[in-house]
Amino acid sequence: MAVRKVNHSRRILSKKSTTISKAGFGDIIEFKYSAKDIYDKTPMVFVLGKKGKILRGINISYLKEYIIEQLLEETNPNKLKSWPLCDKAYRTYKISDIKMVKLIEYETLPQRKQRLKNEN
């Protein structure tokens, strides 16, 4: 079954160049991925962690907005391993195939409402 990608570009406030070594749990990063036989060449990933030469994460390009908002509120990475809402989006990436890493500043709907309220 093909999984449909969701465009979250309107939620991105900024992108800053970074390195994969600086990415940690809870960060949202975007990068160029050059492994063979992949569908998403520029994934936007909620980082779960790194182990050896592997980056574990949840590709939020496959998740609806309300699931991402719940994901961003979670502070315990162990709880996310058995989180059924993210089953289809869980991915592992070979760090050697990752290039051009950008740290994403992501704005959830509650944050957007607060920002717009403060601007008025």
Residue at 1 is within a domain: no
- Please check whether residue 103 lies inside any domain of the structure: yes
Q: Is 52 left (phi over 0), alpha (psi -120 to 50) or beta?
A: left
- The domain of 44 spans 9-119
Answer whether residue 26 is part of any domain: yes
pLDDT at 44 over 70: yes
User: Would you say residue 107 lies in a domain?
Assistant: yes
Asked whether the beta carbons of 88 and 5 are under 8 A apart, the reply is: no
- Does a structural domain hold residue 4? no
Per-residue pLDDT, averaged over 40-65, amounts to 91
108 assigned to some structural domain: yes
Side-chain-side CA neighbours of 53 within 13 Å: the count stands at 3
Predicted TM-score (pTM) of this structure: 0.84
User: How many domains, in total, are found in the chain?
Assistant: 1
Alpha carbon distance 3, 37 (integer Å): 15
Of 91, 101, 95, which is closest to residue 38 (Cα–Cα)? 91
Indicate if the pLDDT at residue 7 is higher than 70: yes
